Amino acid sequence: MRLITLLLALTVPACAPVPAATMRALQTTDPATTDLAALRAAVEMPDALRPRPGTARLVFQLGGREGRFGLEEDEAASRLARQDAPPAPGRRILAFRLTSEGRDALDAFRRAPGARRMTIGIAADACRAGSIGDGPLMIGTWVSTAQTGRFVALTQFDLRRLAGDAAIAALPPCVTPAEGPA
């Protein structure tokens, strides 16, 4: 089950409403030239959900091409994201950065000739860290670039509505590293 957690497009699709304040903050961010070392994405989710270790990746679409680039959790950025958007009780915020290999591969990918219409997203396989319940599973997403200097809200969606009850019920339980892979 893939947990799509971030949709960022400077030409935003209608299905991913982005707040007006975010659009203003992102006006100076060009995905083709932004500093990839400063790019961070954050996800707010219920405490009962977690991204499975090692599965987070940046999905970068450029024209008709798509590339997937490795991400790693960034504790310092997670703390900053919690300052910019404090989570409600029972919720958590995790922030990610590109791995060094992911940065190099994405830099080469985005410099290749092609259309300049771009979308940046984050995907991760999810697992259950507790009881999920029956209500909405709201996921919020943020991005921080060298140009914004802070995390700005992108979108919020109900994962249960997007994926369906069967997919949510099929999420595997999370395990600690001592117990083995999730």
pLDDT digit string (tens) for 64-121? 888 899 999 999 999 999 998 889 999 999 999 999 999 999 888 888 776 566 677 7
Q: Is 21 part of a structural domain of the chain?
A: yes
HSE of 65, CA atoms in CB hemisphere, 13 A: 13
Q: Is 180 part of a structural domain of the chain?
A: no
Token digits for 34? 């932004």
How many whole angstroms separate alpha carbon 176 and alpha carbon 66? 32
How many whole angstroms separate alpha carbon 135 and alpha carbon 152? 26
Residue type, 165: D
Q: Is 176 part of a structural domain of the chain?
A: no
If one compares 4 and 106, the residue with the highest pLDDT of the two is: 106
Q: Is 97 part of a structural domain of the chain?
A: yes
Quote the distance between the C-alpha of residue 92 and its chain's center.
Answer: 13
The predicted structure's pLDDT at residue 32: 73
Contacts (Cβ under 8 Å, ≥6 apart) of 90: 46, 47
Residue 25 has pLDDT above 80, yes or no: no
Domain coverage including residue 36: 2-169
Q: Is 178 part of a structural domain of the chain?
A: no
Q: Is 182 part of a structural domain of the chain?
A: no
Domain with 64 in it: what CATH number? 2.60.40
Give how many domains the chain has, as a whole number.
1
Q: Is 177 part of a structural domain of the chain?
A: no
Band (22; pLDDT cuts 50, 70, 90) = low
pLDDT digit string (tens) for 111-157? 877 656 667 777 888 899 999 888 999 988 888 888 888 888 877 88
